[in-house]
Structure 1
């Protein structure tokens, strides 16, 4: 019973965070990509690809997280397990976001040096 509650809590928080952060990065990333690449059509394509990859990576990680879920026996464990698993997803989102920003920045520098 506690596992089902923890699954529902974790999935609802994770899906909300994944969809909200993806939408925000997609909307804000468009102007950032236009600044870096100066090509509106290429920026739109790259932004859509990044959004699709972002959703696939995060939803896959959420599925893997649930596959290796330990047995939960109390309400305290529900909160602890859901918090740790959600926190790990948030940290992964931050790392992936900054990797994308730095990659695009260095690609821009490389393109401008030609």
Structure 2
């Protein structure tokens, strides 16, 4: 019974993160990508790839955490399990987000230098 509670709570939280946070980043990240690439088709393509990667990391992290469960003997143990695993997943996603924020400006320089070279 406690395991079922933990699974439902954990999967609900992960679905919330995937759907709402993912959509928020997808919709608002487009403006950031447009500043970098300045090409609408390329921006849409990169944005979709990043969203797909985000969903895959979320799903992989969620399923990876599900196999680590023990048999819980109380709601407290269930909530501790859910909070630890949700926290780990959110930290991983935050780190990935900041890596993207650091790498994309570097791509901006590469992309602009290639455009300048190809025009001359």
Task: State the distance in 2 between where 1:80 and 1:27 align.
Answer: 33
The aligned residue for residue 17 of structure 2 is 17
> How far has the Cα of 1:111 moved from its partner?
2.7
2:52 matched to 1:52?
A: yes
Q: SS of the counterpart of 1:34?
A: helix
Q: SS of the counterpart of 1:71?
A: coil
Task: State the distance in 1 between where 2:69 and 2:108 align.
Answer: 41
Pair member with larger Rg: 2
User: Any unmatched runs of 5+ in structure 2?
Assistant: 115-120
Task: State the distance in 2 between where 1:78 and 1:99 align.
Answer: 32
The aligned residue for residue 2 of structure 1 is 2
The aligned residue for residue 112 of structure 2 is 112
TM (normalized to structure 2)? 0.89
Q: How many residues align?
A: 114
Query: What is the root-mean-square deviation in Å for CA atoms of aligned residues?
Result: 1.1
Task: State the distance in 1 between where 2:28 and 2:112 align.
Answer: 23
Task: State the distance in 1 between where 2:95 and 2:112 align.
Answer: 26
Q: Which digits, 9 at most, give the CA deviation of each residue in 1:42-94, with x for residues without a partner?
A: 00000001101110111111011101212211111111111111111111110
User: Any unmatched runs of 5+ in structure 1?
Assistant: none
TM (normalized to structure 1)? 0.94
The aligned residue for residue 35 of structure 1 is 35
The aligned residue for residue 95 of structure 1 is 95
> How far has the Cα of 1:113 moved from its partner?
4.1
